[in-house]
Amino acid sequence: MADGTTKTRKKQWWRYRWMYLMMLPGIIYLIINNYIPMAGLIIAFKKIDFRKGILQSPWNGLNNFKYLFATKDAFIITRNTILYNLAFIVLITVTSVAVAIMLAEINNKLALSLFQGSLLIPYIVSYVVVSYLGFAFMGSSGFLNKTVLPALGLDPVNWYLETGPWIFILPLVNNWKNIGYASVIYMATIVGFDSSIYEAASIDGASYWQKVTRLTIPLLKPTIITMVMLSIGRIFYSDFGLFYQVPQNSGAILATTNVIDTYVYRGLLERSDVAMSSAAGFYQAIVGFIVVFAANKLVQKISPEDALF
Amino acid sequence: MKKRVLSTILAAALTVASMTGFAVPAQAEEVPNIVVVYAWNELPANLDAIESRLSEIAEEKIGATVTLQGFTYGNLMQQMSLALASPSEQWDCLPGMFRSGLAGYVAQGQLNDMTDLLEEYGQDVKATLGDTLLKGSVCNGRIYGVTMLRNNASQECIVFDKQYIDELGLDVSGVADYADLTDIFAALHEAHPDRYVTGSSGTKPTLLINTFNGHDPLSNNLGVLMDASVPEVSNFFESDSYREFLHLTRSWNEAGYIYPDILTDEGNSGANLMKNGLCMSYFTSYTPDNYAEYNALSQSGETVVCPLNSTILMTAQTWTWTIPTNSAYPDKAMQFINLCYSDPEVISLLCYGIEGENWEVDEDGFAVAIGSDYPDQKTWEIGNGSLIPVQKGGQADHWDQIKAWNNAATPSVAFGFLFDSADYAAEETALASVVAQYRSLLEWGFASDVDAKLDEFNEALYAAGLQTYMDAKQEQLNAFVAAE
């Protein structure tokens, strides 16, 4: 019996040999780039002395982590990071699924590529450029202050000094920038659905809206869950460009724009302390890991067949 | 289904994977090759020609060839953190920009102790700087860097575009303090309401760059000496004079003198705005007889400069020649640095470029640029710029003026002192964040209620551990003063 299984295994290996060969460069890349450097996590617990090297440097206990928790900033940056990421995940998922469903309905090739292209452009634009676009809108002599607000009879707003608006500006910019890319994945999945199901539904008299809610969305569920889980793993990381460049690194609005990554960057810019920055990375990775496991457990409870692992 | 989705995504991620290059380790050569780093605002177009000429001279004088690695200022600061953290990188001579001093780098073992090397190979460095200036980069009694001969003292100033001053017939000779500026600003604003009156030389700066009324910021203004002759650490942001100053700048802002996007405009410094005719003046750090540089940043090509407040000599290393730990030939590196304080050809190559190609001496003995291949000619970064002709626009006694001004500055009682903040990293990080949040905003007068905002600033500082930080600073300073 056992012999038989091994044989089948071997057969399977042989059958998929070209697949495995194709995987090889990727696996090697993953090992070199993502696994070997993990040994460097040790730096987070060291008081680094470049003369002695990483291994010989003295241990520093948890001192390198202290700055992430010791002050009241710790609460603000953790809160901002998590809440913004949650908002981003919800917004991006809802809007990009909607956009994907709408795009899938377009039959005109030219129109489709036009829409997709214009949705994707923001994704490939660098955040430095985005920050200038934002400045053109929100600067003291920008579009909003010189054109929009006067037209509405409102006073100009010093956008980069007011904390309030950024709670909306940041998710808006993030969504604008990433929606094209996210919707491509959903659209690719929708296009792959068996059209006979839809035909059957039409024959049964299902309305368009019913097809969307009863067919498309349930069929998309596994993709959505996978995408959301991948985002949740990075819930403790933040898009540095978005939080640093777009608010123009303005100090006055730190209360609503400071996240873990920007806090670490600002704090260590002058210290260039390798160990402290490793500690921050370590912290983010560990928490992200735990959150993914917890989320997966939750999915297992709610709908076991959709859990990632 | 789920597996397929996952594998699609993984496959997509993997296709992004690309080959990485491998660094080839340097071969052992007969003639040692040293890597010299240098920074410009804009790189010279003929960097290769300069490098090979430099290499020839170095081979002849110190027996080492030179690889010249050019960076722009901003780029150097980023590359520094990376290169100094990678032992495989070879950097022998580094004129580094150490914004918060050498202490952090020394604590992490990233810089070589230069004390003995200086004794053996650095005679001209020592002769140029003298004991006082050498003391500015001492850590735990050892020398880890040597500063360049330049405006080593610190003072603030304001630069006006001369066309506006002349046009209105304003007299700025009496300006010695910030309060004196209000009337001049008012006159400028009235005559040119469409232009901004003032800004700063940097992008997104604080108004005060180095010192205020001769106070010693002890490198980061978190615990300062209000009176530089008394070693008593106190909170600068709580002082009455600072509060008064903030009320003054608030009144400037309310009157519309200050460039409204100064806190957020990444692209334009006040100096750029002045060059474009949008701004009529800007605040910067003072250097005597620096018209060559100031004038280049004005629309009319002429400037009026008013030094403000008093001059002080403090530990503010910023640009410093160092020999990083990843240097392959520290002794050759020291010898090369010594050339930057003694050999006119090495100095002029790095300051102005190749003679006859990038610059020439005019009939009055000044250095004049030829063409635009070498856009950033300056003498402050080299070591001893006084050995080559003065740049056109300066005065013949340029270096005497600089030396006299340096010597006239009151040395701070903490000159040579460096706070070792290794054990207070958590506080320092939190404090830096608080300062980023309030300081520029207050100094440029954007807070509508100055007193309330300033109190909030101070409360936030103390909540972030300012007292602990200042106590530690005081303790180390006491030990330093006692040892002196």
**Does pLDDT of B472 surpass 90?**
yes
Does residue B44 sit in the same domain as residue B135?
yes
- pLDDT, average across residues B111-122: 93
- In one-letter notation, the amino acid at residue B287 is T
Which residues in chain A are closer than 8 Å to B463, comparing Cβ atoms? 71-72
- pLDDT, average across residues B422-444: 88
**Does pLDDT of B323 surpass 90?**
yes
Residue to test with chain A: of B94, B323, B429, B441, most A Cβ within 10 A: B429
Integer Cα distance of B379 and B39 in angstroms? 12
Quote the minimal CA–CA distance from A216 to chain B in Å.
14
Count of structural domains within chain B: 2
Per-residue pLDDT tens over the stretch B269-287: 777 788 888 889 999 888 8
- In one-letter notation, the amino acid at residue A246 is V
**In a 10 Å sphere around its CB, with 0-12 CB exposed, 13-18 middle and 19+ buried, how is residue B53 labelled?**
buried
Nearest CB to B425 within list A73, A248, A276: A276
Indicate the range of A46-55, B184-193, B347-356 predicted with least confidence. A46-55
- pLDDT, average across residues B305-327: 86
**Cα nearest neighbour of B206 on chain A:** A251
Nearest CB to A266 within list B10, B100, B436: B436
Whether B58 is covered by a domain: the verdict is yes
**Does pLDDT of B1 surpass 50?**
no
Complex ipTM > 0.85: no
pLDDT level of residue A170 (50, 70, 90 thresholds): very high
Per-residue pLDDT at A270? 66
Assigned token pair, B152: 């080593």
Assigned token pair, B374: 């070498």
Per-residue pLDDT at B316? 65
Whether B390 is covered by a domain: the verdict is no
Does residue B126 sit in the same domain as residue B257?
no
Does residue B183 sit in the same domain as residue B291?
yes
Per-residue pLDDT at B10? 44
Quote the minimal CA–CA distance from A43 to chain B in Å.
12
Quote the minimal CA–CA distance from A114 to chain B in Å.
23
Per-residue pLDDT at B336? 95
Asked if A223 and B425 come within 8 Å (Cβ–Cβ), the reply is no
Whether B480 is covered by a domain: the verdict is no
**Does pLDDT of A74 surpass 90?**
no
Nearest CB to B109 within list A51, A223, A308: A51
Does residue B253 sit in the same domain as residue B337?
no
Per-residue pLDDT at B223? 92
Quote the minimal CA–CA distance from A260 to chain B in Å.
12
Nearest CB to B104 within list A33, A52, A273: A273
The CATH number of the domain covering residues in A67-306: 1.10.3720.10
Range of the domain at B112: 33-145+317-351
Q: Please identify which residue in the block is written with the tokens 């001369």.
A: B162
- pLDDT, average across residues A145-158: 88
**Does pLDDT of B313 surpass 70?**
yes
Indicate the range of A43-47, A262-266, B6-10, B253-257 predicted with least confidence. B6-10
Higher pLDDT, A252 or B244: B244
Nearest CB to A139 within list B81, B261, B421: B261
Asked if A73 and B265 come within 8 Å (Cβ–Cβ), the reply is no
Q: Are B414 and B224 in contact (CB under 8 A)?
A: no
| Helix, strand and coil in chain B, % to nearest 5 | 40, 15, 40
Does residue B234 sit in the same domain as residue B298?
yes
Per-residue pLDDT at B16? 38
Q: What is the DSSP string of A136-178?
A: HHHSTTSHIIIIIHHHTT-----GGG-STTHHHHHHHHHHHHH
Quote the minimal CA–CA distance from B431 to chain A in Å.
9
Quote the minimal CA–CA distance from A139 to chain B in Å.
7
Does residue B37 sit in the same domain as residue B59?
yes
Per-residue pLDDT at B333? 95
pLDDT level of residue A54 (50, 70, 90 thresholds): confident
Does residue B213 sit in the same domain as residue B285?
yes
- Please state, rounded to an integer, the average pLDDT across all residues of chain A: 88
Which residues in chain A are closer than 8 Å to B10, comparing Cβ atoms? 26
Quote the minimal CA–CA distance from A237 to chain B in Å.
18
pLDDT level of residue B12 (50, 70, 90 thresholds): very low
CB of B429 within 8 Å of any CB in chain A? yes
**Cα nearest neighbour of A276 on chain B:** B425
Does residue B250 sit in the same domain as residue B341?
no
Asked if B446 and A248 come within 8 Å (Cβ–Cβ), the reply is no
Does residue B120 sit in the same domain as residue B206?
no
Per-residue pLDDT tens over the stretch B20-38: 333 444 455 578 999 999 9
CA dihedral (B214, B219, B221, B225) in degrees, to 10, reads -50
Q: Report the CATH number at residue B80.
A: 3.40.190.10
Does residue B39 sit in the same domain as residue B111?
yes
Task: Return the domain boundaries, chain A.
Answer: 67-306
pLDDT level of residue B88 (50, 70, 90 thresholds): confident
CB of B267 within 8 Å of any CB in chain A? yes
Assigned token pair, A172: 């808006």
Whether B482 is covered by a domain: the verdict is no
Per-residue pLDDT tens over the stretch B145-155: 999 998 888 89
Per-residue pLDDT tens over the stretch B342-388: 999 999 999 999 999 999 999 989 999 888 888 888 888 899 999 99
pLDDT level of residue A4 (50, 70, 90 thresholds): low
Nearest CB to B432 within list A66, A252, A267: A267
Residue to test with chain B: of A67, A138, A197, A256, most B Cβ within 10 A: A67
**Does pLDDT of B101 surpass 80?**
no
Instruction: Give B483's contacts (C-beta < 8 A, 6+ positions apart).
Output: none
Asked if A53 and B87 come within 8 Å (Cβ–Cβ), the reply is yes
- pLDDT, average across residues B81-99: 86
Per-residue pLDDT tens over the stretch A84-117: 999 999 999 999 999 999 998 888 899 999 998 9
**Cα nearest neighbour of B86 on chain A:** A50
Per-residue pLDDT at B17? 35
Higher pLDDT, B248 or B139: B248
Q: Of the residues B287, B313, B339, which one is the last residue of a structural domain?
A: B313
Indicate the range of A193-207, A259-273, B164-178 predicted with least confidence. A259-273
Residue to test with chain B: of A20, A271, A273, most B Cβ within 10 A: A271
Whether B342 is covered by a domain: the verdict is yes
Per-residue pLDDT at B121? 93
Per-residue pLDDT at B102? 81
pLDDT level of residue A80 (50, 70, 90 thresholds): very high
pLDDT level of residue B18 (50, 70, 90 thresholds): very low
Nearest CB to A71 within list B87, B430, B437: B430
Q: Name, of A1-10, A68-77, B118-127, B207-216, the range with top average pLDDT.
A: B118-127
Assigned token pair, B287: 């250097």
Does residue B281 sit in the same domain as residue B346?
no
Does residue B301 sit in the same domain as residue B197?
yes
**Cα nearest neighbour of B432 on chain A:** A267
> Which long-range contacts (C-beta less than 8 Å, at least 24 apart) are formed by B435-439?
B435/A251, B435/B221, B435/B222, B435/B461, B436/A251, B436/A254, B436/A266, B437/A251, B437/A252, B437/A254, B437/A255, B438/A251, B438/A252, B439/A251, B439/B206, B439/B237
Residue to test with chain B: of A234, A270, A274, A276, most B Cβ within 10 A: A270
pLDDT level of residue B458 (50, 70, 90 thresholds): very high
- pLDDT, average across residues A49-58: 84
